[in-house]
Structure 1
Amino acid sequence: MSTVQANPQTAQSQSYSEVVLGRRSVRHYDPTFKISKEEMTELLQEALRAPSSSNLQPWRLLVIDSQPLKEKLLPIANNQRQVVDASAVIAVLGDLESYKLAEKIYSGAFEAGYMSEETKNAFVTNSTNLYSSLPPEIARKIVHTDGGILSMQLMLSAKARGYDTVPMGGYNAAKFMEAFGIEERYVPIMLIAIGKAAQEGHPSTRLSVEDVVRWNEFDL
């Protein structure tokens, strides 16, 4: 199996506009191409810079790049071929108990000199108290929102490196959770196939700014 990586100079030379306009949902991948774990880690590190509610970073990611496990996932994902042909499938999950890492998150900010110890302690206490007492529907909405932001950043980071992706909501979430032994505290948000395109994604059109945007008064 090929482990050749995209040319970093080509990826780095792309402007933000080129990355955004060039990103498409790709469903046909080169099954012989493998993104190295090192580069996948770098890509994910970039994605983890995404913003989140109170910086609690509730996303949790499961990278599935083992071929037998991708085959296991295939029927759960409605037999979508990209699941087995892409270099990996990344499952994006939301942690309903992300506040349990508040101490680690804010201590890191304190140690980096971004906040005082007093502020750090206040953030830990307030975040833990607030997020641990949220109604379930609100907690789920927050992790879905944050997980969506992370997912888009991940896909743009992949495109900037010369790779393609497709976000997938068409899968049996309950069977996925059971098959991969994932606890109920985690909310399945989406699957993202990532790899080297064997066929370009279909071009598509978008509604214009005039179609969807209003300034100061909403009268759509």
Structure 2
Amino acid sequence: MIDLYTAATPNGHKISIALEELGLPYQVQVLSFDKQEQKTPAFLKINPNGRIPAIVDRANDNFAVFESGAILIYLAELTGQLMPQDVKGRSRVIQWLMFQMGGVGPMQGQANVFFRYFPEKLQGPIDRYQHETRRLYEVLNTHLSEVEYLAGEYSIADIATFPWVRLYDWAGVSVEGLEHLQRWLAAIDERPAVQRGLLVPKPMEEDAEKLVKSGQAMLVR
């Protein structure tokens, strides 16, 4: 059994989608940002950085894993799914996973902050992060013109990237003209496991409103 510590964020959804795709049994532990539950001593023993998502694998001596990319790799290696076993195939998946972790997530997250939540309207940072996010989308689009999924076959690289890119409009970034990226988004969105994973956790209306107003619905990982 996997304990999933999460909230309704793109990075949280990466793990709930992966768990649904893999068919692993898991229990959801929803952390309240409003109550700062991600900063409690008990949770900091699981993730010293005090962020979600994190997991505890009860079947493996209560082994804790934090950082969404590390969790995805752990789950893929645990099950032998969503990542090839050969060196080249595995490397392709990890390359695109790192592209999301080091590029798409941070840049789109900052675009979201300056576009929607920063107390002052600073057009320079808004333009900087929106343009960089769009550039990263263009990289994805060009690559997806040659392959169906990021690493060829559907993998944890797609699972990591999809929850962010699907929220392009929230960060004020357009996908107009990126037909291959749009095709990829639509294909993943149709997967039943993805649809289920996006509902985990299903926030109460009041909690969802707090997440959106605070910006944490896009930023916490």
TM over 0.5, shorter chain: no
Shorter-chain TM-score range: under 0.3
Of structures 1 and 2, the larger Rg is shown by 1
| Structure having the larger proportion of residues in strand | 1
